[in-house]
Amino acid sequence: MKEYICTVCGYVHKGELPDDFRCPVCGAGKKAFREVTPQAQPEAAKPTPVPAPSVHEERELSAMEMSVICSNLARGCEKQFMPQQAEQFLALARFFRAAAGKADKKSAKAVAKLVEKDLSEGYPYANAVAQGAGDRGAMRSLVWSEKVTRMLQSLLARYAKVGNKMTENTGVYVCTICGFVYVGDAPPELCPVCKVPSWKFEKQQRRAK
Ligand SMILES: [Fe+2]
């Protein structure tokens, strides 16, 4: 029997792929699937020189970016058992979120651009640096985050097509360990990226209009 692997999340489908097939895990279409052939074993990584990503100019961050950074810092504080600091960062995140206004297709497009840049420049560079330093921990976390970023890219592509319909009458779950975003009625039994059980997923609350 033929087997196909989703190049976005690694889900393996046995048997033929219908034209309207969607990956049950990440929602990618048929085009994202490759046939698994016996010799298609992962090759040993060859060290290739990778140019450093273009240097970002110093610029003022948008309110939305500030909100995202503050909520990430809040999460970091939570994990370090620093509840007071986490609460302060959360308050800041809420403040900037309110100042940022409503997210729309335009802001999703801007995020898609950043994601594309991360995948084409950021990850190759970070991987090369981690491999050069022989830092296995960094390499492992880069594997996870690159997978999560690819899935995010596929979700953003879907959002660009269907808009808010994508999350109507369904839930959005985020893996609290690796950041994998899942759109569906219930979180997957195991995170397809980091393999933690479903209870490690957090349901995202719909914002009040
Ligand atoms: Fe995960």
Please enumerate, as own/partner, the contacts of 68-73 that have beta carbons within 8 Å and a separation of 24 or more: 68/93, 70/96
Q: Tell me, which fold does domain 1-38 have in CATH?
A: Rubrerythrin, domain 2 (2.20.28)
Q: What is the pLDDT of residue 135?
A: 93
The Å distance, Cα 63 to ligand 1 centre, comes to 27
The Å distance, Cα 144 to ligand 1 centre, comes to 8
Q: What is the pLDDT of residue 208?
A: 47
- Going from N- to C-terminal start, the domains of the chain cover 1-38, 61-101
Q: What is the pLDDT of residue 146?
A: 94
The Å distance, Cα 9 to ligand 1 centre, comes to 11
Q: What is the pLDDT of residue 63?
A: 87
Q: What is the pLDDT of residue 61?
A: 82
pLDDT tens across the length of the chain (209 residues): 889 988 888 788 999 989 999 888 888 889 888 898 876 455 555 556 666 766 666 778 888 889 989 998 998 898 889 999 999 999 999 999 888 877 766 778 888 998 999 999 999 999 999 999 999 999 998 999 999 999 999 999 988 888 888 888 899 999 988 889 999 999 999 999 989 999 999 998 765 44
The Å distance, Cα 90 to ligand 1 centre, comes to 22
The Å distance, Cα 194 to ligand 1 centre, comes to 4
pTM above 0.75, yes or no: no
The Å distance, Cα 202 to ligand 1 centre, comes to 11
